[in-house]
Structure 1
Amino acid sequence: MSVGLALAVLSSACAAPPVLSERDGRVQVVTTTGLLRDLVQHVGGDRVNVTSLVPDGGDPHSYEPSLRDVRNVVYADVAFSNYVMLEEHNIIRTLDANLDEDAANVSLAEDAVKYAAEIIPLVEDVSLDTIWLGLRARGDGAEHGANRASDVLVSATEVTGPGRVFGYLTGSFGDTDVYFDSSDGFDAGTGFRDDTATLPADAHTHMSWVFTEPGVYELTLSARLRVDQESKPVPLGESTFTVTVGVPPARATSESGVADPVVLDQGHADLTVDLDRGELYALYDPEGGGEATQIVVPADRAVIDVPNKALDEIPAGPQHAFLGHAGDQIYQLPQAVLGKHVHGEIDPHLWQNVRNAMSYVEVIRDTLIEEDPEGARAYRRNATAYLAELDALDRYVRERIDGIPRDRRYLVTTHDAFAYLADAYRVKIAGFVTPNPAVEPSLADRRKLTDTIRNLDVPAVFLEPNLAARSSTLTEVADEQGVRVCPIYGDTFDDEVTTYVEMMRFNADSLRECLG
């Protein structure tokens, strides 16, 4: 349900009692996640009524807000999000579009920096043996009036080549969201109805690309910026990219006239809309070093190489029927990270360092005092007590992990969400599993994971409970190598772990028990 439709339903049902607010004198607070809800509850105590949009056990990267969530936002006095692209874009849009104009709207990861929170750039592992190819919106679009709730619309408007072209995203549980599908033609009339991907400003997304026949393709993308739901989209440019599929990249020069080509054949690349420059180009990162190693490649020089080793078969199942018949051969550049994965340049999982969570608490305290000055003494008292508890928690986590021999402090997981834990508590990230979500993991994927476990003599791998249903590769390889599979919590609670303190203590204990 769209935010606009949700508001229409809400206004027509105003006789129904509010879900969050009973207007009982307490400050009404909405958070995006249960983890933030817990922090707010500790600071706010009895003076706040707090609820989270993403339910415990839910995935903040992919959760879609409900009408009930919209109602909660409408009645809130204060909203706390993590932001830096942790949450699904529709969660942020729901907050920004429906929150009262007088309500506080706080992005904790950003505001916590003034309390000495440490930020880690998000550098992605480029372990796939074909290029990662995604979409990116670069820049903040401030000159157009863009904000964090604005949409960047990227549309495929034309393709030439010997076969069909698809661009799609595979969700957390195997469902597919098709962005581009040339089999029924692109909507070249407007370019912004079908065959369109939507991104926040200054973010990118992973996705899978499929080509049905070998040869040289030319794919034209067009982009617009929609500042808000009422505004007419602003054109941001159009460019054509060349793709060589199962043939030598040199054929791009002879068949498409690409002069002085730059072949994109390793690491990570995004077909990028630059909001500030008003153009589309390829942002190429062959070494996986993030901003330090990114190269801007003009669209008319970029040649995206889809090699013969990308030859695959269409998986069975209705979710892939749009590609054709199961078993038919295709060339596929696989999605690099399982599930909906839209993010920016900053790792958003700051709370895995307890000192960063303490910075969050200070921001929460100050925000509640500003909203409810009469409660200032209570908020300061609660925050002081909770900060002391978190300080003790930080020491506990550090002591537990310090008890693990240094040559055994290697973390292998299913989700790249623990860089802050590794940096703060001296753990080494040995790898995370990023299988092709559309097909069975390749022998190369399994071999890399097997070699990592064997060469480092890793005694255990770690699995987030909410990801257990889609982690067969990790568990199978662990079983083959005779190592334990142990639990670790990333960004959501469940019935066993219901608070932030419990989560971090659990993680420290699990690491100590399974690695020590």
Structure 2
Amino acid sequence: MIPAARSLLRSTALSLLIVGLVAGCRSEVALSANDERLQVITTTGILRDLVSNVGGDQVAVSSLVRDGADPHSYEPSLRDIRDVVYADVAFSNYLLLEEQAIIKALDANLREGVPNISLAEGAVKYAAEIIPLVEDVSLDTIWLGMRVRGTGAVHGANRASDVLLSATSADGPGDVVAYLTGSFGNPSVYIDSTDGFDPANGFRADTAMLPPDAHTHMSWAFTKPGIYRLSMRAQLSVDPQAPSVPMGEQVFTFAVGVDPHSVPGMPAATVLSAGHADLTVDLDQQRLYLFADPEGSGEAKQQVYDPARTVIEVPSKALLEVPGDRRLRFLGRPGSRVYQLPQAVLGKHVHGEIDPHLWQNVRNAISYTELIRDTLIEVDPRGAAAYRSNASAYIHRLEQLDTYMRNTIADIPPSQRHLITTHDAFSYLGQAYGVNISGFVAPNPAVEPSLADRRRLTETIRNLKIPAVFLEPNLAARSTTLNEVAREEGLRVCAIYGDTFDRDITNYVQMMRFNADSLRDCLTTTKQGRPQ
């Protein structure tokens, strides 16, 4: 780093604005203005390891997300932000992999002019292969989420901006609630008509907040049958200190447990009753509409529907009883009945159009490495020879790793290459190395998996003669349903690593070798542990 810049940093670091952050722990050495090495901040441990291999002794690198934590939900600490302040270059994965608070912390606290590289996007120029994020909804009702389209560039929007979709009123025979259920069953309520819509609470009351170019799953519950009209308002917040930009208002109509073709005032309305639909904010057109694929063919088939001429059906078969879980009391008393459209995929699953877990294909990690090399050379030309040499040696290791992955997984007979897990982070591994992603726990995370859900999973395991299921170590202890099914069926529960390291797995090469070995060892044994 240029000495004058280091001097300026020492005098100004404490004056940077740091807001909205909670304390957390970390295991990496903190960055420092007194360290003459190039100071690098990454969002995750996996990226930290890639940078370390390219930078060698000439860089000091730290990650915002501590090892063992989930980048989808991690909240950065004040110490994390100090590292951002000292950084000479920053690397994130992005494609909405990281929790939005991480991206905001990074973008808001980097010094002006510091390169801020989104590796998943930039690596495409280095021949990285990307996979559209395809979700198997497996529902017999419509899947209704929320979405942001367009860039909003004319309004100054960037990846750290917030798009706010707020309910302003609800007209219907009962109450309406929209909420997300987290990976471990903790709900976050975003719209709740039971306590009214009070403008005095500000624009964040009864509001879902998304980053640009994202969409999220959502559960929708209605307490009584009938016609509901939900008024929504959208706003774009580019700067927390400045007024938000209006993005339109709209009324969405729901037919709950009644004939959707007989809604008063809408005699020729289009009825959405299946597939994938989103209440959508268009930042470029500054309007709200429905973006839907009634046939369930996938996001590429979605098209715009005018809410004034469209009815969303919530059929009678969506009627269910509120479970006894205290966390779901906002839906009503245990045993009371609500009509519900489930959110389809377990977890606080906010994402874009592309699966962000590119590194599960080792060829993509090579592309990341090449982009990291060129970025470090641009920031620190004096170290160019070392960065090129380090990158060349590491890419050779990655090429050997890619061969190892292929050869190891090839030892598994094709009929036995079935991965059942709870976290959808392995599509790249599956596509690159010929592994089928074959199962999930439950399509409806709003309630405990039903007997039918468990039966379907059990039948899949039996029909495919699957000897093992796979869980990430940091999630395994709390994945109760899959653990219970595995125990009942006499299956092994094996480890697989997706987003993070731990005390046992501390680098990328080790992680991928472990995954290949785990798949081979666990899928080539019977339920009793004997070789197939």
Q: Is the 8 A contact 2:197 2:206 kept in 1?
A: yes
Match for 1:202 among 208, 213, 216? 213
1:15 is aligned to none
| 1:26 and 2:37 correspond | yes
Are residues 288 and 121 of structure 1, via their aligned partners in 2, closer, same or farther at CA, if it must alter by over 3 Å? farther
Q: Which amino acid aligns with 1:338?
A: L
- The range that moved more, 221-230 or 442-451, is 442-451
- 1:478 to partner: Cα distance: 2.8
Are residues 8 and 311 of structure 1, via their aligned partners in 2, closer, same or farther at CA, if it must alter by over 3 Å? closer
Q: Which amino acid aligns with 2:160?
A: A
| 1:482 and 2:507 correspond | no
Are residues 402 and 455 of structure 1, via their aligned partners in 2, closer, same or farther at CA, if it must alter by over 3 Å? same
SS in structure 2 at match of 1:228: coil
List structure 1 segments (4+ residues) > 6 angstroms apart after TM superposition.
Answer: none
Match for 1:381 among 373, 384, 389? 389
2:474 is aligned to 466
Are residues 185 and 55 of structure 1, via their aligned partners in 2, closer, same or farther at CA, if it must alter by over 3 Å? same
1:146 is aligned to 157
SS in structure 2 at match of 1:20: coil
CA deviations 1:404-427 (Å, max 9, x no partner) are 111111222111111111111111
- 1:388 to partner: Cα distance: 0.7
- 1:296 to partner: Cα distance: 1.7
- 1:482 to partner: Cα distance: 3.2
- 1:199 to partner: Cα distance: 0.6
2:244 is aligned to 233
CA deviations 1:441-462 (Å, max 9, x no partner) are 1233223222322222222221
Match for 1:431 among 424, 439, 449? 439
Match for 1:345 among 346, 353, 376? 353
Q: Which amino acid aligns with 2:205?
A: D
SS in structure 2 at match of 1:79: strand
Q: Is the 8 A contact 2:232 2:249 kept in 1?
A: yes
SS in structure 2 at match of 1:498: coil
1:359 is aligned to 367
- The range that moved more, 261-270 or 362-371, is 261-270
Q: Which amino acid aligns with 2:145?
A: G
- The range that moved more, 187-196 or 56-65, is 187-196
> 1: CA distance between counterparts of 2:491 and 2:186?
31
The runs of 5 or more residues in structure 2 that have no matched partner are 1-14, 22-28, 525-532
| 1:304 and 2:315 correspond | no
1:272 is aligned to 280
2:7 is aligned to none
> 1: CA distance between counterparts of 2:100 and 2:369?
24
> 1: CA distance between counterparts of 2:49 and 2:427?
22
Are residues 360 and 348 of structure 1, via their aligned partners in 2, closer, same or farther at CA, if it must alter by over 3 Å? same
Q: Which amino acid aligns with 1:182?
A: S
- 1:262 to partner: Cα distance: 2.2
- 1:434 to partner: Cα distance: 4.2
CA deviations 1:381-439 (Å, max 9, x no partner) are 11111111111000000000111111111222111111111111111221333443331
Superposition TM-score, scaled by structure 1 size: 0.93
SS in structure 2 at match of 1:399: helix
SS in structure 2 at match of 1:96: helix
- The range that moved more, 361-370 or 330-339, is 330-339
> 2: CA distance between counterparts of 1:131 and 1:476?
29
Q: Is the 8 A contact 1:315 1:438 kept in 2?
A: no
SS in structure 2 at match of 1:476: helix
- 1:191 to partner: Cα distance: 6.1
2:378 is aligned to 370
Are residues 35 and 8 of structure 1, via their aligned partners in 2, closer, same or farther at CA, if it must alter by over 3 Å? closer
* RMSD, aligned CA: 2.1
> 2: CA distance between counterparts of 1:429 and 1:9?
38
Match for 2:141 among 116, 120, 130? 130
2:9 is aligned to none
Match for 2:229 among 218, 234, 241? 218
Q: Which amino acid aligns with 2:219?
A: S
> 1: CA distance between counterparts of 2:343 and 2:200?
29
- Identity across the alignment (%): 67
Q: Which amino acid aligns with 1:194?
A: A
1:72 is aligned to 83
Are residues 198 and 101 of structure 1, via their aligned partners in 2, closer, same or farther at CA, if it must alter by over 3 Å? same
